[in-house]
Amino acid sequence: MAGGNLDESQTAFNTAFSKIRAAIERAIAHLKAWRMLSEEGGRFRPPIEKFEETLQAITALMFFSTYE
């Protein structure tokens, strides 16, 4: 129930989840701050064999940041 009191296990879960989410949000903010990944900078040139892996990592972080 929204606005109700939580028991200890629910509070512990929420705390752990918040810590993970905060870490991911900080990582995404850090990636966005890199000019080489921005449209303006556009200097990110990974080796072609690493491109798919890099793109998947960035996409996963972006998806996680917008998932509610």
Where is pLDDT greater, at 5 or 47?
Answer: 5
**Is position 21 within any domain?**
no
**Is position 4 within any domain?**
no
**Is position 12 within any domain?**
no
**Is position 14 within any domain?**
no
CB 25 within 8 Å of CB 62: no
Average pLDDT for residues 59-63, to the nearest whole number? 76
In this structure, of 1-5, 35-39, 62-66, the range with the lowest mean pLDDT score is: 35-39
**Is position 15 within any domain?**
no
Residues of the domain holding 52 = 35-68
Q: What is the pLDDT of residue 15?
A: 93
Q: How far apart are CA 28 and CA 52, in angstroms?
A: 18
**Is position 30 within any domain?**
no
**Is position 26 within any domain?**
no
| Nearest one of 23, 35, 34, 30 to 64, comparing CA atoms | 23
The string of pLDDT tens digits covering residues 21-49 is 988 888 777 777 766 555 555 566 667 77
Reported as a pLDDT band with limits 50, 70 and 90, residue 8 is very high
Q: What is the pLDDT of residue 18?
A: 93
Give me the number of domains the chain comprises: 1
**Residues contacting residue 64 through CB under 8 Å, at least 6 positions apart:** 24, 28
* Burial of 30 (C-beta count, 10 Å sphere; 0-12/13-18/19+): exposed
